[in-house]
Chain A
Amino acid sequence: MFLHVVKYRLLAIIRDRQGMFWMLLFPILLTSMMSVVMMNLINEDMSISPARAAIVKNAAWNSSAPLQDVIATLNADEESLFVFSPVETAAEAEQMLASGDVHGYFIPDAENGLTLHVIRTGFPQTILSEFMSSYTSQARLISDMFRTDPLKALALAADGIQASRLTFEPIDPAQNVSNPWGAMFFTLIAMMALYNALQSATESTAVDPTVYSVGIRQRTMPQHHISIVLSSFAAVAVMGLLNMAVYLLYGQFLLGLDFGLTAYPLYAAAIAISGVFAGIAMGFLISALVPGKRNRHSAVIATSMVMVFLAGMMVLQMRQIVRENAPFLKYLNPADMITDAYYGLLYYGDTARAARNIVMLLVFTAVCLLLTYTRIRRTRYEHL
């Protein structure tokens, strides 16, 4: 009986063209569109672009050989954070600043070292300002030293402005994130999984004796309530898993996105499966709580969209903002669990984190199904 019901519910789902659009075609369309639009962003080398500055070749510049050396050294260094363009007049530098060719311009000054001119604040300007502070403070130290100990001053000047032996080492060698934007696609997988809740809502409505005659027939069968819920769950799950498989394969192999199918196939599949289960169970729970077909669909769409938004679909940082301000939400939001699992797995190879999220998704599924069962198990219909 169980398999019989599953088979016919599955047929009903396949014939629901609108449902299939939302469950499969819409996520595929959205992902294709995002991948086209964001391809530059995803493939871009996010290495830091240098801060650009003009420097005016006035009398102070001509008389300051150390400054010319520093600028020449920094310009020659390919990994330098600065690109300096020496110009003849201040007006020329001003023109470059106004047209956005440079972030700022320096005017050498025999008394104060350098003066930086900018028209806005930002990190390029901050870096230029830090450079100027370094140069000015070193120059001041050396000029003070000349008064007391010229030999030591000469030795200092010979060292250059930053002659430290300091080296930096990465704290977390596993972290090699050059570009965070790919994480937006994890929220799309989460959306795809949660959209199964729509099908759950349709299924719940289809077997509701107050709405359809099929529901009346099912309720008069010698079958336990939990069995009815589970057969619907199984039908939606089969379809949901097939859709998810098509989606992941399309994204990974046709769009060239990394969904972990080659590097971590088992974990990637386990996250997707548990995500689909969580979406379906969430749909059943919402359907048990909200009466009426239209209200159920609205509630499912609103809940899913809020969840994927909080998981960072539209604003990447949203996930972290939520985690800092309302950490308990991560246990209630399956979209966040799915995103977190893929993020940990694909950016850091953190299988433990992925496994933790898979368990949380399965617990979420079990809790939702249990709540659904407790909600519908005592339902009696007067007309049956």
Chain B
Amino acid sequence: MNIFKTTLRIVRAHLAAFLVYLALPVFMTAMFVGFSPAQGLDAYQNSEVVFAVFDRDQSVVSQGLIACLENGNNRVDLPDDRDSIRDSLFYMQTAYVLDIPAGFGARLLDPAGEPPVLGRQTAPDTMAPSALDGRIRRFVTFVERFRDLEPDAAPGTIVDKALQAAGTTGTVILESPPDSAMQNLPQPFRFLAYTMLNLSLLIIAQTVLSFRQRQIQERNFVSATPPVTINRRLLFSVLFVCFAAFFFNVLPVALLTGRTMLQASGLLLLLNTFCFALVSVSLGFLASAMFRQDSNLSSALQTILPLIMCFFSGIFVPLQFIPESVRRIASFMPTYWYNHSIIAMEESVALSPELTRLFMRNGAIQLSFAAVFFAAYFVLEFDRQKRRKIVAAYHS
């Protein structure tokens, strides 16, 4: 019990870092669950484009154009200043900013006049603007056609007819509606790899290093409790605290995603996370055995190792953008296989036997990593114990 209490005290000494790693998944889950599309999609819907309009024309045509764009898209208000427009587009809060210049309607309705011009700015790295471009061209084409077909018609009538014609849609059939759980769940799980690695390194490395301090070791040597018992208690204490931390890591994700977690895809993700939890713990033990008494090296490792593993494995950056050579290196890291399962689920439409098999295979690979790390830890520890016995015998 004393060792368990000491472990908790060591964790409390690093409470700030501990809380950051526990809070990160909550934040990421809230973000992804909050921003993800509506769940339970069983009929096809076009993706909404977020756009802003500055209407300097205020004509029937410009208002008709805005009405046409608002149909199925999301119009937002944006301050009419350069920095706001730049920021909103750059950070992809808005995909499209349309500027309808004064006189646009008059130009469009005048077949002999100058061609109509629209100002626009689009966000980088998204296909969304192309969808809105198509809609604008469709509306403008219909206005021009009805203008030519009925030269005497009032602008309002032309715009009404153009709106009606442009609103005609074809039939889109969504074959096998996607599993909503598989669309929303995987993203928050991805970041768990980073927090779990950090938590295990923080808890295990700090606790084991504290127990390896010279004075504490000497105290333990003269204690009535045999070293083997102390080590066993330390092992169980650390494991208990680690898994409790992982539980509190996963709990908010489960709570925020609700019942979808209980679906088969959620359970598969939990299984994948459990395999990775074992990897994290084994890696924590291995790190503690490798950097025995060097707390500086250990704290550097705690920061760098999870970052390297997560960066290379595509936890922070989409895997398709990572160079092939880096991906090849990443395949020797357990994080890669953890993330591989998550990506496979994201890319799948519904749960299939192939996907389940892939989860099992990747889980087995992660367990193999854990086994190797544990084996290496025990080899190093056994060697150390043997040398310590020799030193103790010499001193006695």
Give A residues with C-beta under 8 Å from B.
17-18, 21, 26, 29-30, 33-34, 36-41, 44, 46, 48-49, 51, 81, 94, 97, 100, 104, 112-127, 129-138, 140-141, 145, 152, 156, 159, 161-172, 175, 177-181, 183, 294, 298-299, 301-302, 305-306, 312, 314-317, 319-321, 323-324, 343-344, 347-348, 350, 353
A117 to B170, CA, bound (A): 11
Task: Out of A100, A129, A135, A166, name the residue touching B118 (CB < 8 Å).
Answer: A166
Task: List CB contacts (< 8 Å) of B15-30 with chain A.
Answer: 16-17, 20
In contact, B86 and A21 (Cβ under 8 angstroms): no
A166 partner, pick from B17, B126, B137, B174, beta carbons under 8 A: B137
On chain B, the residues within 8 Å of A306 by CB distance are 20
Q: How far is the CB of B147 from chain A (nearest CB, A)?
A: 11
List, in ascending order, chain A residues with CB within 8 A of B97's CB: 171
B99 interface contact, C-beta 8 A: yes
Give the residue of A97, A315, A320 whose beta carbon is less than 8 angstroms from that of B93. A320
Closest 6 interchain pairs by CB?
Answer: A320-B91, A137-B168, A165-B115, A123-B127, A41-B321, A130-B134
Question: Is the beta-carbon distance between A317 and B92 smaller than 8 angstroms?
Answer: yes
Asked if B193 is at the interface (CB within 8 A of a chain A CB), the reply is no
Report B160-195 residues with CB < 8 Å from chain A CB: 165-176, 178
**Chain B CB within 10 A, most for which of A120, A136, A140, A175:** A120
How far in angstroms is the closest Cβ of chain A from B335?
13
From known contacts A177-B124, A180-B125, infer whether A137 and B174 are also in contact, taking CB-CB under 8 Å: no
B233 in the interface (beta carbon within 8 A): no
How many angstroms from the CA of A317 to the CA of B118 in the assembled complex? 28
Residues of B within 8 A of A137 (CB): 138, 142, 165-169
Cα distance, A21 to B296, chains bound together (Å): 10
If over half of A's interface residues share one DSSP class (helix, strand or loop), that class is named, otherwise mixed; here it is helix
Determine if B308 and A33 form an interchain contact, defined as CB atoms under 8 angstroms apart: yes
CB pair B116–A165 under 8 Å, yes or no, is: yes
Asked if A141 contacts B93 (CB within 8 A), the reply is no
Q: Decide yes or no: A320 and B178 within 8 Å by CB, A37-B326, A141-B165, A167-B115 being known contacts.
A: no
19 contacting pairs across A/B (C-beta < 8 A) = A26-B304, A34-B311, A97-B175, A118-B172, A121-B44, A121-B178, A126-B46, A127-B131, A127-B134, A130-B131, A131-B134, A133-B169, A137-B142, A141-B145, A163-B144, A166-B108, A169-B119, A171-B99, A320-B87
Question: In the complex, are the beta carbons of B91 and A164 less than 8 A apart?
Answer: no
The winner among A119, A152, A323, A353 for most chain B CB atoms within 10 A is A119
Apart from A130-B135, A134-B134: 16 A-B pairs, beta carbons within 8 A: A17-B296, A21-B300, A36-B323, A119-B176, A126-B46, A132-B172, A137-B142, A163-B141, A164-B140, A165-B115, A168-B133, A171-B119, A171-B121, A180-B92, A316-B91, A320-B87
Q: Which residues of A contact B83 (CB under 8 A)?
A: 344, 350, 353
A170 to B98, CA, bound (A): 9
Min CB gap A210→B, angstroms: 20
Which residues on the A side are within 8 Å of B67 (C-beta)?
none
Interface pair A302/B20, CB less than 8 Å apart:
yes
**A179-B126 in contact given A18-B296, A36-B323, A323-B87 (Cβ < 8 Å):** no
Q: How large is the interface on B (under 10, 10 to 19, 20 to 34, 35 or more residues)?
A: 35 or more
**Using Cβ atoms and an 8 Å threshold, which residues of chain B touch A116?**
170-173
Please name the residue on chain A nearest to B125 by beta carbon: A46
Tell me, yes or no, whether B262 is within 8 Å of chain A by CB: no
A123 with B128: CB separation less than 8 A: yes
Chain A neighbourhood of B82, CB < 8 A: 172
Known contacts A130-B131, A164-B141, A168-B120; A320 and B88 CB within 8 A of each other: yes
- Once the chains bind, are A298 and B17 in contact (CB under 8 Å)? yes
Contact B144 A40 (CB under 8 A): no
Q: How far is the CB of B70 from chain A (nearest CB, A)?
A: 15
Which of A117, A120, A321 is close to B178, meaning CB atoms less than 8 Å apart? Answer: A120
Asked if A175 and B86 make an inter-chain contact with CB atoms under 8 angstroms apart, the answer reads yes
Contacts of A34 in B (CB 8 A): 311
CB-CB < 8 A to A129: which residues of B?
A: 44, 46, 169-170, 172
Instruction: Indicate which residue in A37, A133, A145, A166 contacts B312 across the interface (CB closer than 8 Å).
Output: A37
Greatest chain A CB density within 10 A among B14, B86, B116 is at B86
Q: Is B117 an interface residue (CB 8 A)?
A: yes
Q: Tell me, yes or no, whether B264 is within 8 Å of chain A by CB.
A: no
B385 is an interface residue with CB less than 8 A from chain A:
no
Contact status B138-A115, CB under 8 Å: no
Give the complex CA separation of A34 and B321 in angstroms. Answer: 12
Minimum distance in angstroms from B37 CB to a CB of chain A: 7
The answer to whether B134 touches A121, judged by C-beta atoms less than 8 angstroms apart, is no
B119 close to A348 (CB less than 8 A):
no
Q: Which residues of B contact A18 (CB under 8 A)?
A: 296
Which chain B residues lie closer than 8 Å to A164 at the CB level?
137, 140-141, 144
Which of the residues B91, B121, B145, B317 comes within 8 Å of A38, measured between beta carbons? B317
Nearest B residue to A113 via CB reads B170
Asked if B307 lies at the interface with its beta carbon under 8 angstroms from chain A, I say: yes
- Decide if B349 touches A119 in the complex (CB within 8 Å): yes
Give bound CA distance, A350 to B90, whole Å. 14
Contact flags (1/0) for B274-316 with A, using CB distance below 8 Å?
0000000000000000000000100010011001100110001
